[in-house]
Structure 1
């Protein structure tokens, strides 16, 4: 079971990297108003959602306790990120505050995962 959990953790990190990497790659475009949602950002958010749900299920199946408040908060942030990336994926330009909120919420999600014990 540990090998399967570790595989899903790795896939979850790849999803985070795709989402945050897509955001960071367009930091320069935010100032000029040309930032847009890249396909990697949407796919990264979807990967995070699928692997995150699988990780919670695998952790519970392995007999571990799950912090439901932490997982619920992370899920709420990810649903907002996923909503923005899905709805705005075809727009050529996004406003700086909306695009910045995707990066901020992604970073907050990472810090919640790492720092909340």
Structure 2
């Protein structure tokens, strides 16, 4: 079971990298209001959702303690990111507020995962 959980943790990190990497590559364009939501950002967020839910299920199946409050908050933050990225995915410009919110919420989710024990 540990190998499966570790594989899904790796996939979860790849999803985070795709979402945050897509954001960081567009930060220069954000200054000139030219930033847009890239397909990598959407796919990264979806990967995070699927692998995160799978990890919770695997942890519960392995009788590990799951902090449901933490998972609920992370899910709410990721849902907000997904909605923003999905709604703005086809627009030529995402807008500074929406694009900045995606970056801020993504980093918030990372810090919740790392610092909330």
Q: Which residue of 1 aligns with 2:77?
A: 77
Deviation string, structure 1 residues 27-72 (Cα, Å, up to 9, x no partner): 1000111000000000000000000000000000001010000000
Write the distance in 1 (CA, Å) between the matches of 2:96 and 2:83. 17
Q: Which residue of 2 aligns with 1:108?
A: 108
Q: Which residue of 1 aligns with 2:94?
A: 94
| 1:2 correspondence with 2:2 | yes
1:98 Cα offset (Å): 1.0
Structure 1 stretches (4+) deviating beyond 3 angstroms? none
1:105 Cα offset (Å): 0.1
Write the distance in 2 (CA, Å) between the matches of 1:83 and 1:26. 19
TM, length-normalised to structure 2? 0.99
1:82 Cα offset (Å): 0.4
Write the distance in 2 (CA, Å) between the matches of 1:107 and 1:16. 9
Structure 1: any 5+ residue segments left out of the alignment? none
